[in-house]
Every structure is written in C-alpha cells, then in structure tokens.
Structure 1
Amino acid sequence: MTAGLVPSCSDALQALPTPVLVLDETVLDRNIAAVAASAREQGLALRPHAKTHKSIEIARRQLAEGAVGLTVATVSEAEAFAAGGLRDLFIAYPLWLDSDKTRRLRLLLEMARVRVGVDSVASAERLAAAIPEAERAALDILVEIDSGHHRSGVLPVESGAVAAAATGAGLDVAGVFTFPGHSYAPQGRAAAARDEAAALRTAVDSLAASGLATRVVSGGSTPSAAFADSSVLTELRPGVSALGDAQQWELGTIGPEAIAVTVLATIVSRRSGHLIADAGSKVLSSDRGPVSTGFGRLLDFPEARISVLSEHHATITGVDLPVGSRVRIVPNHVCVAVNLADTYQVLSSGGGVTSWLVDARGRNT
C-alpha cells in the first residue's frame, strides 16, 4: 500500500487534518432506510434514539424515511432538536425536576410534543406539581420498566401503581417503555428481546389491572431490534443502527459495510510489532464493552487490533503500515465518540467533503 493512502478513501479525505470524525453519507442513508424498512415490515413505529448522532440533519433524514419522532436522553438534547424544528420528542429517562429543568421543560412544551419517562410515584407526582395543568396538552407520560438491564425502571408488576399515581395527579399516561440494555452481552441479543417482551406484557397487564389502557409499548435496542416481538411492542427506539460502531460489529449485529462513522487517523510512529496512530481516548473514547477485542477496529484492516489507548495515541497491532499512512478507526461506542466532536466531516456520495454540526454535543443536562 502506498504511504498516506487508505483503501476506499477519497482524495478529499486525504486532505483533512487528523484525527477527525468522518461520516459516510451513502452508508448513513442506506442504514437509515434499512432500519425504517425493517420497522415497517414488523408493523412498528420507529422512534430512533438521537443521543447517538446528535445531529439535526440526520434526524431529518430519519423522519423523512418514516420515523414518527425522536428519542433523546436529556432535556437539553430535546431543546437542541426542538430548536431545529423537530416537534415530537421522547425524553426516555426518568426526570427529577428541579427549578431549572422545570422552567426549561415548560418552555419546551411550547415548542414540541414531549413524552417524559417516570419510574416512581414520587417522580410522577413531582412532575405533575411542576407542570401546570393548563400547560400539559403537549405532555405524555410513559412508565419505565426494568426488563433485565437493571438500570432505571420499576418492576413490571409495579408499573400499574406508578401509572395510576401519575393519572391521579392529572398526567396523561400513554403507556410503558423499557431499554433491553443487556442485549449488549455476548450471545444476549435474542434473550434480551424475549425478556423485554415478557416484561412489557406483564406491565401492560399491570396497567390494565389499574384500569388503564396502553397506547404505546416502546422498547428496542440496536442489538435486539432484529428479534423484537411485534405482538407486544408498538414502537422501536434503536440508536446506533444509523451509524454503526465496533461493538455492533463484534456483536454480529452489523458487518463492516454498515459502519458509517470512523475516525480518520495518521500512523505517526512505527515500531517492531506495533504502530502508533494520532487518535486517542479524547477522540475515540475509552469505552470497552464486554464483547470488545480492543479499543476500536480498523475498517480496512479487520485483522488489526487497538491494544492500548492513551489520550492522543492508539497502539495498533496485527498490521504493518508505513509511517504517514492513514487509517479509518471504528470507535467501540459511537455515541461517545460523536459527543467528543464539534462536527462531522461528511463524505458525500459524489466524493466531496462537507461539514455537519454535532448540534446536541455536550447537551447533558
């Protein structure tokens, strides 16, 4: 291989300073279309998680392919997308409203329809006390249940009590949701989807026992989406599927052809047995999941591994390249890598490079 060149890498990318976050527009659009088609085939609404890409442009493309709205992680993410004209947002975590978040949520309800998660009687009652009844027309509530990930979420059998408390406080409870995050475990994708379906059925029954119907039964993750049970779910919320990352590659959820985001890096040092690239944890993130075989993968050299990561450097083994060569590193966890960048450098279908903002970068409150 000629020093400085990367297989399938355009001349426009070669001119970029490294390290830099690169988005392949063709792969992105193909991924968005595939996820939307899969949801339609299953008869499920699609509400992709925008905490992955944090981009108004990408969100608009997802909506154009049929997504019903967006999922976000925080009030400030919701604010960023609402300011960009996205009007149907689900904050998919329990909120505990202080005076600042209360003020901001009330303003957000003037701009968009907003769903909020609750997983306790206390959080539901606090939400009802914070938002005046006259301002709740655009507010829906979903009760979060724990389907096996054991993070937030009430036990499924207790969801009816939380929903009844929220309804009693004057809130509109649309249904239930969960995140089957244990689908990221080795060989856990199908099992997590089964756990999710069983937990959601129990939650629907729990609400029914409290005299409440469920209009929305929301779940899904990128690893488990292929095994989603449409007999109970009404909505899917995958995130990483739009961009891809090394975790999904190593889980077997996707192949390298579905990786839309990489970090373009330069080999700056070469020693016997390893190379050093100029992209470290401040660009790639230091996340390493249970299936990860290193701190990222090389898109064009799948046999290579990143064995050590420091702040500004990656130690690469399993491939030998000249100093000055450029490589495309696939981050283990694309959500974190995106949040470390101000912009995407977008490789267009025509081969040129443009820049898109990471609009919701750092929106953590």
Structure 2
Amino acid sequence: MMIDTPAVVIDRERLDANIAAMATHAAAHGVAIRRHVKTHKIPEIAQMQIDAGARGITCATIGEAEVFAEAGFTDIFISYPVYLSKRAIERLNALAGEIRIGVDSVEMARAAAGLREDIKALIEVDSGHRRSGVTPSSEALTQIREALGSRYIGVFTFPGHSYGPGNAKQAAADELQALQTSVERLGGGLTSGGSSPSAQFTGAIDEMRPGVYVFKDSQQITSGACTEDQVSMTVLSTVVSRNVADRRVILDAGSKILSTDKPAWMDSHGFVLGQPDARVSALSEHHATIFWPEDVELPEIGDQLQVVPNHACTVINLVDEVYVRATDGTLEAWKVAARGKNS
C-alpha cells in the first residue's frame, strides 16, 4: 500500500509491546486498568487493550462514549465532570451497558437524578493538577456524596502534574494520598487514578486510566516515562526543501498534523525518530522546520522521515485514518472512529 505524506503510522509490534507491558505492570501491582481511549479513538486498539485484560474503557466525552458503545464496548467511564444539560442526560440515558460519569459539584450531583438508576458516578478530587476536582478536605466532597446517594461508587483523580521531567513519582504519591483521604472521609468507595507518566509509580489504588502509553510521544520521553525505542506512533513526512548552507530541512508535516502542543518544559515540536537531535524548531500549517545536526548526513529532497510528535492525543484527532505497519512491512488502514467527538 502506497500512502501519501504526511500520514500517521503505527508500528504494530511496538503497539502490542506497549499494551502488554502496561498490563503486566498493573497485574504485578494489583491495579486494574481502565484504558483511556481518547488517545487513540480507535475501536481496534481498544479491543486489543480489553483482550490484554483491561477492566473497561475511559472516555473524555459523551461523543466518544457513543462511538465506543456503538462498537460494542459495554463498560465505559466518562472521566470528567459532565455538564448534565437536558440533552446530555438524554444522550447518557441512551447509552447501552455499564456507564459511569464524573462529577465535582453539588449542582451536577443533583442533576444526576435525571439519569437512569444504573448510571453510577465517581467524585473527582484534585490531587495537585489544579484543573477540575474538589479538594479531599473540603466540605464539598461530603455534600456531593450526599447528593449522589446510591449513585455514588467512588472517587477519581488525574495526576496531570506528572508531566514534566522528574514529576511522576511525587504526582503518584499525591494521587494516592488524595484518593485514600477521600474514601476514608466518605466511608469507602472505588479509587481511580493514573496518568501515563505516573503509571510506573502507581500502587494501592483500585484502577488506573493511562492513555498515551500505547503510543508514547516526545512528552513521555522527556517526562521519563519511556524511551525512544518504545514509540509506536509517528508522523511519516517527506523532505520537500532543504538549505545546505545552514542545514535547514523542511518537511511536509506542519501544525495541521503534528499539532501545536508545546509545553513550556519542551524545547521543540517533536523530533525525527532515530535522530533525537534533529528537532522540529518551528511549525507552519503544512511544514516543519528542522536544523539538521552537523555530524549527521543531510537528508535529500524526497526522503521520508518519521517524526515523533510532542503529544500523540492531539495528533490522532487531526486525521481520519492511521496506517498500521505489521512486522512484515505491510500496511493496513484503520479509521479514527471517534475523531472530532469533542462534545
């Protein structure tokens, strides 16, 4: 199969290895995995994760949950505080299977009364990321629990402050403390946490929800969660221009496929697989600029390079399909079924 560039390519052997490694790690620590499908948005990969022992799946939005429920997945957690409008309640009630939602306010806990009885809820607590979630010591925690009544089944958190060099271990400790403190105050319940960088340190909770671990990316490498040889998803691109004098190489992969996600602690928009010093210094909509290392032969126009993006999740949401490369080199196209399902 010939593919035009730029294109997202997944190495099937590395993908299988990443899924298996996380499953083995979780089993060794007695933690169940509820894989976050927002990273890949692809039912085929979610099924691989289930086959490897996942408890169920995690979604970011009702739209994602609808796509995966239609694909046959029956144990779904939407792990964000859902705004329960009349339309959202209708959509949630229409989902088949075991559905769980997140709440972090008394208002939404009360609004959950409009959901069918078997839809359960977890309360989000803030373990240090400072996004959504209530603090474990707040009165809001017990008020939300009371408002949920029998719908309450536990607490969850996202230790997103695990991203960044050297942050993961402390973030995992913060996560554990926040979850344990919360369930002790509430008299019990499921504890759900996890992020890909902190997963290596996660323990003594019921389940974790990593997502990016299936692909890895430049953020994961910089955070210390993986090495380059574990990266399974890259953006295949072609050298369309070069300047020999200043060793500038231009690729046909710009922000519309690599995305512009660049945390303050990152120094580039990605790098070339196998050439970690060949870093993307600038992005236009359809082009990437790389100043090629002095000690490495300059690529020719027409050469194809694999770029490791900063953030795999945002890349996937920019394409309709990905190409999966088998060990024999053959390629198969998989649809990104939940692309754009952001509501």
Normalising by structure 1, what TM-score? 0.90
Q: Are 1:251 and 2:231 counterparts?
A: no
Q: What code does the residue aligned with 1:343 have?
A: E
* Residues 1:156 and 2:136 are matched in the alignment: yes
Shift >6 Å, 4+ stretches: none
1:95 to 55, 62, 82: 82
Matches within 5 A, 1:132-143: 135-137=116-118, 139-143=119-123
CA distance, structure 2, for counterparts of residue 160 and residue 223 of structure 1: 30
1:166 is aligned to 148
Equivalent residue runs for 1:126-205 within 5 Å: 126-128=111-113, 130-131=114-115, 135-137=116-118, 139-158=119-138, 159-167=141-149, 171-205=150-184
Partner deviation per Cα, 1:107-148 (whole Å, 9 max, x = no partner): 01xx121110010111100111x22xxx322x1110000000
> Are 1:280 and 1:312, in contact at CA under 8 Å, matched by a contact in 2?
yes
Contact 2:166/2:224 (8 A) holds in 1: no
**Residue in structure 2 matching 1:298, options 267, 272, 280:** 272
1:48 aligned to which of 35, 45, 65: 35
Structure 2 unpaired stretches of 5+: none
User: Is the partner of 2:225 in helix, strand or coil?
Assistant: coil
Checking the alignment, whether the CA contact within 8 Å between 2:31 and 2:203 is kept in structure 1 is: no
CA displacement 1:271-302 (0-9 Å, x = unmatched): 12310000000001000023322001111211
Deviations 1:193-246 (A, max 9, x none): 1111111121112212xxxx21x100010000111132xx11010000011111
Other structure's SS at 2:36 match: coil
Q: Which amino acid aligns with 2:215?
A: L
Tell me the equivalent position of 1:3: none
What is the match of residue 351 of structure 1? 329
| Deviation, structure 1 residue 347 | 0.4
Superposition deviation, residue 317 in structure 1: 1.5
Query: Structure 1: how far apart are the matches of 2:291 and 2:170?
Result: 34
C-alpha distance in 2, partners of 1:30/1:361? 25
Letter of the 2:128 partner, please give it: G
Partners of 1:142 and 1:176 within 8 A in 2: yes
Which runs of no fewer than 5 residues in structure 1 stay unpaired? Answer: 1-11
Amino acid paired to 2:327: S
Q: Does 1:282 align with 2:262?
A: no
What residue in structure 2 maps to residue 310 of structure 1?
284
Task: State how far apart, in whole Å, the 2-side matches of 1:82 and 1:16 are.
Answer: 31
Q: Supply the distance in 1 between the matched residues of 2:39 and 2:47 (Cα, whole angstroms).
A: 14
Whole-Å Cα distance in 2 between the matches of residues 229 and 290 of structure 1? 29
Letter matched to residue 328 of structure 1: Q
Q: Does 1:33 align with 2:5?
A: no
> Comparing both structures, which one devotes a greater share of its residues to strand?
2
- Equivalent in the alignment of 1:7: none
How many angstroms does 1:318 deviate by?
2.9
The answer to whether the 8 A contact 1:185-1:290 is kept is no
Q: Given the alignment, which residue of 88, 101, 115 partners 1:116?
A: 101
Q: 3-state SS of the aligned residue for 1:122?
A: helix
**Aligned alpha-carbon RMSD (Å):** 1.1
The range that moved more, 50-59 or 99-108, is 99-108
Aligned length: 335
Alpha-carbon contact 2:6-2:253 (below 8 Å) kept? yes
- The CA deviation at 1:151 is 0.3
Do 1:246 and 1:296's aligned partners in 2 also have CA atoms closer than 8 Å? yes
1:290 and 1:188 map into 2 onto residues whose CA distance is 14
Distance 1:340 1:330 in 2: 15
Of all paired residues, the percent bearing the same amino acid is 44
Following superposition, the deviation at residue 63 of structure 1 comes to 0.2
The CA distance in 2 between the partners of 1:185 and 1:300, in whole Å, is 22
How far apart in 2 are the matches of 1:186 and 1:243? 19
CA distance, structure 1, for counterparts of residue 93 and residue 278 of structure 2 = 50
- Partner of residue 323, structure 1: 301
**Quick one: which amino acid aligns to residue 117 of structure 2?**
R
Structure 1 stretch displaced more, 95-104 or 321-330: 95-104
- What do residues 338-361 of structure 1 show as CA deviations (whole Å, max 9, x unaligned)? 000100111012210010011100
